[in-house]
Amino acid sequence: MSKIPEFSNWQEAWEWHAQQTQNEYANQSEAALLKKIQKRQYDAYYQIWYSLGQIGTLAASAPVLLEVLRREAGEDNMLIRYHCAGALFHLLGYPDDPLPELRKRVQWAYGDEAARQAAIDELEQLIQSRRAAPE
C-alpha cells in the first residue's frame, strides 16, 4: 500500500483509501473476489462490488450476488445491497442512471421485506432468461 498522504478533508481521505482498495482488487480474479463476498469480507469503501461489476461474469457472479441480496436484510445492510445490486445489474447491462425499477425493489425493503424477497425472485428469473438466451 502507498504511503498515506495528509488530507484536508474526509472526502479526500475516503477517495484515496477507496482508490487503494480498488487497486488491490484489480489484481484479483473473479473467483477470489467472490470468495471474499461469500465470507462477508466486504470493504468499507464498497470497491469489491465495482471491481466485480467490471470483471465478473453473469454465470459465475449472479448466484453469489443473489445470495447476498437475499441474506443481507435489514436497514443496517442497505448500502451493501445497493452496491451488490449495482454490480449485478451492471453485469446484466443496465446503467446506474436511471436506476431500473426492479433494482430499487431488490435493494430497498421499503418496510416490506417479503416484497423485496419477491423482487429478488423476479430478478433471478430475469437472470435465468438472459443466461438461456442465445448470444
Give a yes or no: residue 5 inside a domain.
Answer: no
Q: What is the pLDDT of residues 111-135, one digit of tens each?
A: 899 999 999 999 999 999 988 876 5
How far is the C-alpha of 82 from the C-alpha of 100, rounded, in Å? 12
The count of structural domains within the chain is: 1
Long-range Cβ contact pairs of 38-44 (< 8 A, separation 24 or more): 38/64, 38/67, 42/80, 44/17
Give a yes or no: residue 35 inside a domain.
Answer: yes
Question: Which residue range is the domain that position 90 belongs to?
Answer: 10-132
In this prediction, the residues of the chain whose per-residue pLDDT falls under 50 are none
Q: Kindly report the pTM of this predicted structure.
A: 0.90
Where does the chain have alpha helices with state H?
A: 10-26, 30-38, 47-55, 58-71, 78-91, 101-107, 113-132
Give a yes or no: residue 3 inside a domain.
Answer: no
How far is the C-alpha of 125 from the C-alpha of 55, rounded, in Å? 23
